[in-house]
Structures are given as structure tokens and as C-alpha cells.
Chains A and B, each alone.
Chain A
Amino acid sequence: MRRGPSAFNVAAVVAGLAFLYAPIVILVIYSFNASRLVTVWGGFSTRWYTALFQDAQMLDAVWVTLRVGVLSATLATLLGTLAAVALVRGGFRGRTALAGGIYATLVMPEVILGLSLLLLFVAVGLPRGFWTVTLSHATLTLAYATVVVQARLATFDRHLEEAAQDLGCPPWKAFVLVTLPGIAPAVAAAWMLAFTLSLDDLVIASFTSGPGATTLPMRLYSQVRLGVDPKINAVSTLLIGLVATGVIAAYLVQQRGRRRAVQER
């Protein structure tokens, strides 16, 4: 019997991956281009990375993006976990409506979400800046965090919580001591997913940001309009690396949790 994939399978996979990743690979390669011209290869160099780390504006944007990402991901994970608990455990009326309300933001066009958030901030008189972007990103990523945590919680053995209560824990303590360790991988995965989403959001940030709170995607976008600077290739490569790391880490952590969930049975 023949082992391994056929030539056709290999070709299909290569073609598919090339279609997906060729532009990114080219971007990464050109970030090490010595030439100032973006389309002409002038030898290997890391000069654009050096230049990048001397660009105060760019570094400032990176710093803003990271802070927004960490804060909004933390807020979204916290609220998302609570929402997931309510959706899975709560025996109240209107649970389906609540679920629909949370998941609606998954399919809502970002432009509309961004615009409505902007209108809200204007209406309540909140000055646009760092905190409005952070809040908006939490809104954007909340639904994703909820889905991830909810999926794990739905398979979590409810009797474990009951056993903890039976042995003397009030409900909140049973959740902290027993449920949370059980769903921790999913919570971590939710955080990383939210962080990644915040990191590469441009639309919402454009609507809700203000002076002094320019995120990296905003900075890149505005610079590209003025002409492509090879520094952009460098910062994009770094961003891709960070996002890829986040996504892969989230996947691995979730896999570990899933394996543990299987062992529980």
C-alpha cells in the first residue's frame, strides 16, 4: 500500500499555502532589503529595523497598541467569562436573547460598531483617546472571549462545582477554587485571542481614537498613504510575528485544556 499524500494532494496544499502566504513572505523578505526602493532588491540588511527603533512616533504607536491590547483583552476576558458563566449556568429567562445580543457583535460590520461607539462617546462627552480605544476594543473582542470560554464551560462537569459547595464552599468560592482552574486554558486562550484582535484592529480605532493615542495599525495606514517606507515592512514583520505567536499559543493552550477535559470523563 502506498503511504503518504499523493502528488496531487501535495500540489494542492502548496498552491493553497502560496496563495495565502506569498504576499506575507514577500513583505517579510523585503523588510530585510538594503535598498530604499521598496520594489528593488538591494541585498540583505537590517537597517530598516534599526531605523524603526529610532522612529519615536512609530515606537510610541507600538507602545499605545500594546497597552490598549493588554487592557482591553483583560477587560474583555473578565466580562466574557462572566457572560459565559451566565449563559451556561444561569437558569433565567431571556438567556437566548442575551446570547444573541452578545454574538451579534461578531457579525456586525466593524464600521457600524465603530461609528456607534463614536456617537456614544460624543453623546456622553467622553474625550476620545487612549481609554475610548481600550473600551471599544473590549466591546469588539468581548463576544470572541465569551464564545471561547463558553465552549469549555459547557463541557465542564457541573458536579465538580456541586461537590465543592457540598464540602463547604459558597458558590463564588467553588467557582474560584474548582471551576476556574478547570477552564483556565480556555480563559487564557480567550485573552490571547482578544489581545490579537485588538492588536490588528484599524477600523474601530480610527473611529474612537483621539490625539495622543494613535495605534500602530493607524500609524501604518497613514504612513502608507504618504508613500511606502521600508520601515513599514519591518514593523509589519514584527507585528505578524507577534500575532502568529499569540494565535499559536492560544491554540496550544486550548489543546492542552481539551486533552484535560477528555481525561475528566
Chain B
Amino acid sequence: MNGRAPTSRPQIGGIRETFAPWDDPAARPLVRFDGVSKGFGETRAVAGVDLAIYEREFFALLGPSGCGKTTLMRMLAGFETPDAGRIWLADRDIAADPPHRRPVHMMFQAYALFPHLSVAQNIAFGLKRQGLPKAEIAARVEEMLALVKLEGLGRRRPDQLSGGQRQRVALARAIAPRPRILLLDEPMAALDKKLREETQFELMTLQQTLGMTFMIVTHDQDEAMVVADRIAVMREGRIVQVGRPAEVYEAPADRYVAGFIGDVTLFPGRITAREGPLVRLQSDDGAFDAEGAGDVGDQVWLAVRPEKIAVHTDPPADPRNRIAGRILDYGYLGDWTTYLVEIAPGRTIRAARANATRTVERPLGCDDSVWLTFAPSSAVVLSA
């Protein structure tokens, strides 16, 4: 502990567990992408995206660079016009509206603070465009400065601020005019790891306090997992899967999602038998049991996460889902140790072990013979 007093903040986890408008057939989405496509020359940046984002949701667009997530966000902001499809904001098709007529504001990746204006003038910029009275603008700026904990810095210039402070000015400037939805373009890319983690929680708190809808674009899966109510995983202009972080992680739609979010070992094979919820899979690495869908004869992939694989130094009695191997290498991460286990020449599996105690009686090292096991319920059967 660093001695900081516990701060009172909303129990976001609890609120989130019950927040699921996407499961409610009567709920109307705030933003709806309807068959939206966009190309640049020969390349198709966004290809037929359908997506619904609900009021008060913290939504993440996740994907590698070049997957079209930024283009999708820029179409919502108005900086790009879709080639096809509609973008609905509440009950209005805004696809053709210019950026300045949309109640959608964006926090830019490099913040894009106006260098010739003070912090307070930056925050007031959008309010002035709305034609609010001077007194109200001043009050709102003070309110925003307090909200992002920058009291007293209103007269500074952006170049007199630290990176973290600039980030918060950019945030305050974008939320001050109270947009219907706030877009965050890689908002934490320029921050160091520690600050990034703090900022993630601050963002979540802020979103809950304001009751505002946030959409974040990121390539950082950890960031998306922490902050978002739901994640949309994008690949080559298409949405591959939309779901809560746990759904996307524990029940990935396909091999791509499984591999993009977290580490995974894949066993390609064929289903040879079914017993209730269990299927038996025959792969080159052996036969495995797993819970999942699929019929006998189907070509599938068994996906197992490293932390769901147990490492044993003595052969476990139960031969089910057991693989013998040799430790090729390992990485000590402090909280976790990741082992790279060779189970056949040239075939390796990742297994992770939580370092629950400070000392281990028999530490595992390179070239040690080990046995790996996983529970049938811990593996996912993927058909694509």
C-alpha cells in the first residue's frame, strides 16, 4: 500500500453486472451502424458493419492497426462519409452530417489541444460554439477543471502541462459541451503503464458519474477488457464478435478472437464421439475431452488458455486431457510464471502458473519433465 486514503467511488462492477440493455428487446440503441462500408481507393477499410451502442454504455472497438476501427469511429464523428449504409444517432440518420453539426465529440489520440489557447480557453471552445452565456461558460469550465482534477491550472498553456494533464484537458474539452456520445481514440496510448492503469479506472468512474455514453477505440486488449461494458473485436473491416469482456475471452467466436485476446493454444482435430455436453476430439497431440458444440466428424479446434493448464511434476493419475512434455523455456513475470512446454518435436504449449507463494519447494526449470492437464470445461471448441 502506498498509504493513500481509500477514495469513495461508485462500485462500477456491481452496476455493470445488472446493466445489459443489449439483452432487452425493447431497448432502443443510441447509435446504430446499419450496413456501413467505407473504402479508400482499392482497400476496403470497413465492410458492412452492423453495430448497436446503447445509452450509458462504455463500448470498445478492439482490433489490430489497420482493421478499420479508427475509420468506423471517424465516420461516427463525421470526418469520413460512408460509401454505403446508415449511421443512426437516436432516430436520426447522421451519415451525411458534417462534424460540426453532430452532438458527438472526440478525444484525439495526440489530444490535439489548441496550443495558442489556455487550458480554460481550450475547455470553453466547444461551449462558445454553442453560444452559451459567458457566465455559464465560466461556471462549466470550472466544473470541468474540478472533474478532471486540474483546479487552478486553467490559465496554463498546453505546453506547460505534463502528458497526463494534457490528456485530462483533452477529456474535459470533449465532455464539456455534453455530447450524446464521447469517442476516445486510443486515449491512453501516450501514457506510461502505471498512469494508464490509473487513468483507466478514472475514465470508468467519470463515465458512471456523468452517465455518458463512451466509445473507445484501442488495439490494447487489456485496456478494452478493463474499461468496457462490451467489446467489439474487428478484423479486416468486419466485426468478428461483440460481447462482454468475459464472453469474448472465455467464449471466443473463432480462432482469430481467441488468439487476439490473450494467449491460447490450439489443437486442431476431429470430433470422434459425443457424450452429453462433452465431445471427444482426436488431434495429432492426443485425444481430448471438452465441453462444446459440434457433431461427430466435424473438423474443429480446441482452444485452451495458458492459465487453465495445470503443470504437474509427477504424472497425474487421471489420463484424461493429460499431455507429457518438457519445459523448453519460462518467463518469470512476478505474479505469474509462463512456461513454454515442448510436447512433441517442434510443438510447444504455453502454460501459466500463479506464484501464490514466495518460495516454491521444487521450482521448475528448463528441461524438467512435466505433465500438463486441463479440465474439459476449461477448453473451448471452435468451429472456425
Segment at the interface with B among A24-32, A114-122, A156-164, A193-201: A156-164
Task: Establish whether residues B110 and A167, one from each chain, have CB atoms under 8 Å apart when the complex forms.
Answer: no
**Dominant secondary structure of chain A at its interface with chain B:** helix
Task: Establish whether residues B126 and A167, one from each chain, have CB atoms under 8 Å apart when the complex forms.
Answer: yes
Task: Establish whether residues A168 and B129, one from each chain, have CB atoms under 8 Å apart when the complex forms.
Answer: yes
**Smallest Cβ distance from B131 to chain A, in angstroms?**
9
User: Which chain A residue shows the least CB distance to B74?
Assistant: A162
Given known contacts A159-B110, A166-B100, A167-B173, A260 and B77 CB-to-CB distance under 8 angstroms: no
Task: Establish whether residues B100 and A162, one from each chain, have CB atoms under 8 Å apart when the complex forms.
Answer: no
| Contact residue among B108, B115, B125 (Cβ-Cβ distance under 8 Å from A162) | B108
Q: Which residues of B are found within 8 Å of A166, using beta-carbon distances?
A: 77-79, 99-100, 104-106, 174
Interface residue A165 (Cβ < 8 Å from any Cβ of B)? yes
Task: Establish whether residues A157 and B112, one from each chain, have CB atoms under 8 Å apart when the complex forms.
Answer: yes
Task: Establish whether residues B112 and A167, one from each chain, have CB atoms under 8 Å apart when the complex forms.
Answer: no
What per-residue 1/0 map shows which CB atoms of B70-81 lie under 8 Å from chain A? 000000011100
Task: Establish whether residues A160 and B98, one from each chain, have CB atoms under 8 Å apart when the complex forms.
Answer: no
Q: Top 5 closest A-B pairs, CB basis? A: A168-B129, A167-B126, A159-B112, A163-B112, A165-B99
Interface residue B4 (Cβ < 8 Å from any Cβ of A)? no
In the assembled complex, 24 residue pairs joining A and B whose CB atoms fall closer than 8 Å, in A order, are A157-B110, A157-B112, A159-B112, A160-B115, A162-B79, A162-B106, A162-B112, A163-B114, A163-B173, A165-B78, A165-B98, A166-B77, A166-B78, A166-B79, A166-B100, A167-B126, A167-B174, A168-B100, A168-B129, A168-B177, A170-B98, A170-B100, A171-B98, A182-B115
What per-residue 1/0 map shows which CB atoms of B118-147 lie under 8 Å from chain A? 000000011001100000000000000000
**Smallest Cβ distance from B106 to chain A, in angstroms?**
5
Task: Establish whether residues A163 and B116, one from each chain, have CB atoms under 8 Å apart when the complex forms.
Answer: no
* Distance between Cα atoms of A121 and B339 in the complex (Å): 84
| Contact residue among B78, B114, B126, B159 (Cβ-Cβ distance under 8 Å from A160) | B114
**Smallest Cβ distance from B79 to chain A, in angstroms?**
6
Q: Which residues of A are found within 8 Å of B159, using beta-carbon distances?
A: 263-264
Q: Which residues of A are found within 8 Å of B115, using beta-carbon distances?
A: 160, 182, 260, 263-264
Interface residues of A (CB under 8 A from B): 157, 159-160, 162-171, 174, 178, 181-182, 260, 263-264
* Distance between Cα atoms of A260 and B129 in the complex (Å): 26
Task: Establish whether residues A168 and B126, one from each chain, have CB atoms under 8 Å apart when the complex forms.
Answer: yes
Q: Which residues of B are found within 8 Å of A171, using beta-carbon distances?
A: 98
| Contact residue among B98, B109, B116, B177 (Cβ-Cβ distance under 8 Å from A167) | B177
Q: Which residues of B are found within 8 Å of A165, using beta-carbon distances?
A: 78-79, 98-100
| Contact residue among A159, A178, A263, A264 (Cβ-Cβ distance under 8 Å from B108) | A159
How many interface residues does B have (CB within 8 Å)?
25
User: Which chain A residue shows the least CB distance to B173?
Assistant: A167
Q: Which residues of A are found within 8 Å of B174, using beta-carbon distances?
A: 166-167
What per-residue 1/0 map shows which CB atoms of B86-115 lie under 8 Å from chain A? 000000000000111000111011101111
**Smallest Cβ distance from B255 to chain A, in angstroms?**
36
Q: Which residues of A are found within 8 Å of B129, using beta-carbon distances?
A: 167-169
User: Which chain A residue shows the least CB distance to B103?
Assistant: A168
Task: Establish whether residues A160 and B100, one from each chain, have CB atoms under 8 Å apart when the complex forms.
Answer: no
* Distance between Cα atoms of A165 and B100 in the complex (Å): 5
**Smallest Cβ distance from B123 to chain A, in angstroms?**
10
Q: Which residues of A are found within 8 Å of B114, using beta-carbon distances?
A: 160, 163-164, 178
Question: Which B310-326 residues sit within 8 Å CB-CB of chain A?
Answer: none
Question: Which B151-192 residues sit within 8 Å CB-CB of chain A?
Answer: 159, 173-174, 177
Task: Establish whether residues B108 and A167, one from each chain, have CB atoms under 8 Å apart when the complex forms.
Answer: no
Task: Establish whether residues B112 and A160, one from each chain, have CB atoms under 8 Å apart when the complex forms.
Answer: yes
**Smallest Cβ distance from A83 to chain B, in angstroms?**
24
Q: Which residues of A are found within 8 Å of B110, using beta-carbon distances?
A: 157, 159
**Smallest Cβ distance from B110 to chain A, in angstroms?**
6
Q: Which residues of B are found within 8 Å of A182, using beta-carbon distances?
A: 115-116
User: Which chain A residue shows the least CB distance to B183?
Assistant: A166
Residue of B77, B98, B114, B159 with most partner-chain A CB within 10 A: B114
* Distance between Cα atoms of A93 and B100 in the complex (Å): 26
What per-residue 1/0 map shows which CB atoms of B247-275 lie under 8 Å from chain A? 00000000000000000000000000000
